[in-house]
Amino acid sequence: MAIDKPNHETMLQCFEWYLPESHNLWRWLSSQAPSVAHAGFTTAWLPPAYKGQAGDSDVGYGVYDMYDLGEFDAKGSVPTKYGSRMEYLQAIRAMQGNGVRVFADIVFNHRMGADGTEPVRTHEVNVDDRTRSDSTVVERTLNTVYDFPERGGVYSTFKWNWSDFTGTDYTTDDGTTGIMRFDGKQWSDNVSHERGNFDYIMGDDVDVNEPEVARELTDWGIWYTTTTGVDGFRLDAVKSIDAGFFAPWLRTMQRYGNHPGIAVGEYWSGDASELTSYLHDCNHCMMLFDVALHFRFEQASKNPEGFDLRGLAADTLYEREPTYACTFVDNHDTQPGQALESWVQPWFKPLAYACILLRDNVLPCVFFGDYYGVPHDLIPPMRFLPHMVWIRAHLLGDQVEAQPGDTAHSLCWVVEGNHPVCVVLNTGSSEVHRQVRNAALASHTLIDVCHPDAPATTDTQGQGMMRCPPRSCAIYIDADDYGVMLEALSGTPAAGTVCA
């Protein structure tokens, strides 16, 4: 049977926190580019590619030198954790050559691992209310000089000092930690109001409102975009960066770069009102990850008896601004052991992924650790996730019809098209049977991808009974489509073969 491919986007996050420090990710991604495209992914989100303070053991978020893509012998290594500059560029070309867009991870909020010290006048800040600070000026010797001696002015001669930052953190002799704001500097008002003002997160806090800094970040962006040819951006920690910065920056990248102005911002808040407010403040210049929906998934997975599935999408970005919602289940920050750990329980993951992949989401994101596993924590790849990605790419239509009879523990919908898909979710302790009726299902033999031993049939009106076991999901597709899918997925990578 011929399979038409609708234009449904799916992004693969191409890393998890505990990948080995083997300098191998870029080479591995180059080799996997054909299979990533074949699986149905249209976009690959690559981790930060520049040198971090911890050299080749840095995941990429402890930013030191954004011009060093694994080219200079700095911080103890030439390559980054993921490989060399040339290997990074080759990975991008390999993905794009197979029709997969590449999103670069951009971390503007802070710098870490300074090259030198200087005296700086500071004010101690109340860590629980950053709008309050001590009026007394204390002069300290701080690590705020970045002159990148190993790079020697290649690509940029810009050198950072305290005036390019707003503040930093400190640790006293007794282990007490705190935050300092530099004298004459103010936190930006156009940031999250968490703890009064959430401009500061970590390290030396970049002052994007300093004209010289804004110019340097723009110059770097032009260099980076033209050098790498990336198609879009994942923007880190936007809740702590002035909301007015990104719209002009993205417009400039659009003029000079090769991408169509696509960006997804990480604003870490479970409050959909905060997410929609930020979209308004930044003039809708980007999409945002739907953190609110992620937390709904976590809640449902940890308290299925007390969670009403009919409100699963309530107060989420998907509900309020669906065209600007990048939906996801988990990521590198939420996985076990991380600062924002909020891991969706394994039994619920198939249900959560069915919600983002087998509905009308604009750009769902699949986590590397769910697709390939997390050997560090003995977490295996999620069963049936490749099937869902394939179905989204090759079968899914555009019209979603909810079926009558939803309950607190059971949802059912049909996605209409030339290859109809019927999905049932069940968080209850007993098997459910859902009576379904939809003309697109007329006269079909349907196979449940997750439980293929019990086919369902529909009559000429598209009516049939669909079953779903306890705490599970059922994904019904046409029997002929099922056979095509199994053949297409026969080469899916096995657990334990990733980035060795």
Can 406 be counted among the known catalytic residues? no
Asked whether residue 248 is assigned to any structural domain, the reply reads yes
Q: Are residues 199 and 268 in the same domain?
A: no
* Domain extent for 431: 399-488
Region 4-28 average pLDDT: 89
Region 375-392 average pLDDT: 95
pLDDT given at position 496: 45
Q: Which of 16, 56, 236, 481 is catalytic?
A: 236
pLDDT given at position 452: 96
Region 169-181 average pLDDT: 86
Give one word for 163, left, alpha or beta, with left for phi > 0 and alpha for psi -120 to 50: alpha
Region 242-248 average pLDDT: 94
Please name which of 9, 35, 388, 64 lies closest in space to residue 232, comparing C-alpha atoms.
Answer: 9
Q: Are residues 248 and 375 in the same domain?
A: yes
Point out the domain boundary residue: 144, 175, 210. Answer: 210
pLDDT at 220 over 80: yes
Asked whether residue 289 is assigned to any structural domain, the reply reads yes
Asked whether residue 203 is assigned to any structural domain, the reply reads yes
Tokens of 83: 């490989």
Percentage above 70 pLDDT, the chain:
96
Asked whether residue 494 is assigned to any structural domain, the reply reads no
Burial 397-430 (b: 16+ CB within 10 A, else e): beeebebeebeebbbbbbbbeebbbbbbbbbbee
Point out the domain boundary residue: 176, 210, 244. Answer: 210
Query: How far apart (Å, rounded) are the C-alpha atoms in residues 148 and 157?
Result: 9
* pLDDT bucket at 497, cuts 50 / 70 / 90: low
Asked whether residue 499 is assigned to any structural domain, the reply reads no
Region 209-224 average pLDDT: 97
Point out the domain boundary residue: 368, 394, 420. Answer: 394
Query: How far apart (Å, rounded) are the C-alpha atoms in residues 340 and 317?
Result: 19
- Beta partners for 106? 235
Element (H, E) at 346: none
> pTM for the full model?
0.95
pLDDT given at position 454: 87
Which of 271-275, 333-337, 417-421, 474-478 is the least confident region? 417-421
Region 380-391 average pLDDT: 96
Query: How far apart (Å, rounded) are the C-alpha atoms in residues 293 and 314?
Result: 8
Give one word for 70, left, alpha or beta, with left for phi > 0 and alpha for psi -120 to 50: left
pLDDT given at position 172: 75
pLDDT given at position 260: 62
pLDDT given at position 249: 95
Q: Are residues 476 and 378 in the same domain?
A: no
Q: How many domains is the chain partitioned into structurally?
A: 3
What SS3 state is found at 124? strand
Region 246-275 average pLDDT: 90
Asked whether residue 496 is assigned to any structural domain, the reply reads no
Q: Are residues 180 and 222 in the same domain?
A: no
Alpha helices in 341-399 (DSSP H): 349-357, 368-371, 385-394
Burial 228-247 (b: 16+ CB within 10 A, else e): bbbbbbbbbbbbbbbbbbbe
Region 55-75 average pLDDT: 98
Q: Are residues 83 and 164 in the same domain?
A: no
Q: What CATH number did the domain enclosing 460 receive?
A: 2.60.40.1180
Residue 459 assigned ligand-binding role: no
Q: Are residues 127 and 156 in the same domain?
A: yes
pLDDT at 438 over 80: yes
Can 308 be counted among the known catalytic residues? no
Region 78-91 average pLDDT: 98
pLDDT given at position 394: 94
Q: What is the mean pLDDT of the chain?
A: 94
Q: Are residues 352 and 275 in the same domain?
A: yes
Q: Which of 266, 274, 298, 370 is catalytic?
A: 266
pLDDT tens-digit series, residues 103-127: 999 999 999 999 999 999 999 999 9
Q: Are residues 234 and 336 in the same domain?
A: yes
Q: Are residues 267 and 320 in the same domain?
A: yes
pLDDT given at position 34: 95
Q: Are residues 176 and 315 in the same domain?
A: no
pLDDT tens-digit series, residues 144-164: 999 999 999 999 999 999 999
Distance of CA 325 to the CA centre of its chain: 11
Residue 205 assigned ligand-binding role: yes
Tokens of 460: 């000429």
Percentage above 90 pLDDT, the chain:
92
- Beta partners for 171? 177
Asked whether residue 6 is assigned to any structural domain, the reply reads no
* pLDDT bucket at 174, cuts 50 / 70 / 90: confident
Alpha helices in 149-230 (DSSP H): 211-228
Cα dihedral: 16, 54, 47, 325 (round 10):
80
* pLDDT bucket at 440, cuts 50 / 70 / 90: very high
Q: What CATH number did the domain enclosing 183 receive?
A: 2.40.30.140
